């Protein structure tokens, strides 16, 4: 049965999409059938893969306008699939607000295809609104990308300890934290090391909740999406690529 992993952090620009798409690319390369769910109305994951965002996508699926299996699109790799997104998805949080079980619309759909994939990775928007709650409700595990920069920790532990605990108590008792992944690390700045030290101190008793692989700041990672390519297509020998490959292997072995 497939594992469903949600990538979440209420801050924007921390590397959620980059991490989701590139872990997915390396899982597919490792012969794991992987479905990427672009669950952000900004559609960044969709464009990172060079996939058509005008077709029906996750919005039409959760609103019952399109059937999930026929909406899943193929990509450059035969093991990698995507449910695309576009700005229409922003309507979902309004349309669902007064319906019963509004947090379970994504889960209901993903459960239909869970057995067809080894991994389903969900990329969330930068908020803890109804869309992200649907992501949490649907998932088995959560991975939290954390940017190695100033302000990164603001609200971070609150989200991790309070929000996720609340979700476990209410929406999804079986949700567990797979780990925190440090992104955009720059070894030349003290700030990055400070953030890492701080998190490691808080997690002294649970070092297994921090991924060993640290993703460096790497320009190739920021260029790849503008070419509609994953990092293993765009610059497979770059530091960014090697790091995401290593991270994907950690996910494969430990999550």
Ligand X SMILES: Nc1ncnc2c1ncn2[C@@H]1O[C@H](COP(=O)(O)OP(=O)(O)O)[C@@H](O)[C@H]1O
Which residue ranges make up the site for Mg ion (CB under 5 A)? 16-17, 44
Nearest CB to ligand X, comparing residues 44 and 93: 44
Minimum distance from residue 125 beta carbon to Mg ion (Å): 7
Number of C-beta neighbours around residue 78 at 10 A? 10
Q: Is 245 among the residues that bind ligand X (CB under 6 A)?
A: no
Position among 2, 6, 17, 79 found at the interface with ligand X (CB under 6 A): 17
Q: Is 222 among the residues that bind ligand X (CB under 6 A)?
A: yes
176: left (phi over 0), alpha (psi -120 to 50) or beta: beta
Give the H or E element holding residue 191.
Answer: helix 190-202
x/- site string to ligand X, residues 197 to 216, per CB under 6 A?
------------------x-
CB 10 within 8 A of CB 155: yes
Position among 37, 175, 181, 184 found at the interface with ligand X (CB under 6 A): 184
210 beta partners: 180
Nearest CB to Mg ion, comparing residues 15 and 192: 15
Nearest CB to ligand X, comparing residues 110 and 184: 184
Number of C-beta neighbours around residue 56 at 10 A? 17
3-state secondary structure of 90: helix
Q: Is 126 among the residues that bind ligand X (CB under 6 A)?
A: yes
- Give the contacts of 116 (CB within 8 A, at least 6 positions apart): 2, 33, 69
Q: Which of residues 26-45 bind ligand X (CB under 6 A)?
A: 44
Nearest CB to ligand X, comparing residues 109 and 149: 149
Rounded CA separation 155/76 (Å): 37
Residues lying near ligand X in the complex (CB under 6 A) are found at 12-18, 44, 126, 183-184, 215, 217-218, 221-222, 225, 240
């Amino acid at each position: 049965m497939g594992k469903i992993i949600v990538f979440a952090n209420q801050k924007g620009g921390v590397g959620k999409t980059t991490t989701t798409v590139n872990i997915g690319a390396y899982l597919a390369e490792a012969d794991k059938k992987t479905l990427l769910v672009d669950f952000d109305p900004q559609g960044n994951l969709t464009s990172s893969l060079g996939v058509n965002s005008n077709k029906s996508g996750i919005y039409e699926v959760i609103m019952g306008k399109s059937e999930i299996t026929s909406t899943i699109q193929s990509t450059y790799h035969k093991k990698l699939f995507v449910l695309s997104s576009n700005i229409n998805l922003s309507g979902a949080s309004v349309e669902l607000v007064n319906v019963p079980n509004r947090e379970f619309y994504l889960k209901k759909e993903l459960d239909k295809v869970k057995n067809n994939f080894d991994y389903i990775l969900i990329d969330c928007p930068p908020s803890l609104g109804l869309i992200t709650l649907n992501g949490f409700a649907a998932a088995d595990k959560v991975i939290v990308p954390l940017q190695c920069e100033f302000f990164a920790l603001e609200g971070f532990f609150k989200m991790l300890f309070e929000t996720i605990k609340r979700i476990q108590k209410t929406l999804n008792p079986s949700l567990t934290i797979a780990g925190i992944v440090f992104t955009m690390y720059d070894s030349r700045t003290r700030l990055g090391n400070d953030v890492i030290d701080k998190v490691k101190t808080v997690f002294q008793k649970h070092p297994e909740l921090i991924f060993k692989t640290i993703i460096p700041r790497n320009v190739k990672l920021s260029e790849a999406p503008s070419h509609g390519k994953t990092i293993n297509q765009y610059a497979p020998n770059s530091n960014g690529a090697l790091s995401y490959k290593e991270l994907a292997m950690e996910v494969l072995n430990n999550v």
